[in-house]
Amino acid sequence: MGEQHDLRRIFGQFASGVTVITCRNGDGAPHGATVNAFTAVSLEPRLCQVTMTRRSKACTYLSGAPFAVNVLAGDQVDTAMHFAGRPCVRDPAWAEGPTAPILTGTSATLSCRPWAEYDGGDHIIFIGEIVDAVVHDKPPLIFYRSTFHSLGPPSAHMTWAGSADDPEIGWFDAATSFTPIHLPHTV
């Protein structure tokens, strides 16, 4: 196997959510692209990152333009495929968002103003300032090993809440110290 194929397989080991990045094209019409290279960057200021291949039409429309990150819901595989270049039978439903067109029926939507963009090799890294965020009570669509998945039941018996590293109570700072937990050895 080739090195690029191997690297793609390794990247595929990381499960991610599925987003459609929406903006306006050169004629002002809504345009979208399915992207799983999305991440949170900062809470203050509120920033997120989208990485898009230079070959995509959306990449040319996104430069210096407002956009929305539409986090797809588990029942939106057809929408993901539509914006990945395999149109579904009916067009996805659009709505007007605070900064750019948005999709309906999503798990969450972030509306962004352009903040910065960087060279990312064969991709461009776009940083957006989040000006509006909406979350819906719908489980997200997951992408793992080149296949779409539903979230399914939680795999841990303990919740994140109450953890010393819980984002609701604050992340660890440089002064935090820990006392190791010693578990009994089992045979």
Check which CATH number belongs to the domain holding 34 and give it.
2.30.110.10
For residues 82 and 72, what is the distance between their CA atoms, to the nearest angstrom? 12
Domain membership flag for residue 31:
yes
Does 17 score more than 70 pLDDT?
yes
Domain that holds residue 97: 24-42+55-146
Banded pLDDT at 173 (limits 50, 70, 90):
low
Banded pLDDT at 56 (limits 50, 70, 90):
confident
Does 8 score more than 70 pLDDT?
no
- When divided into structural domains, the chain yields a total of 1
Tell me what the mean pLDDT of segment 53-75 comes to: 92
Long-range contacts of 90-95 (CB under 8 A, 24+ apart): 92/32, 94/30
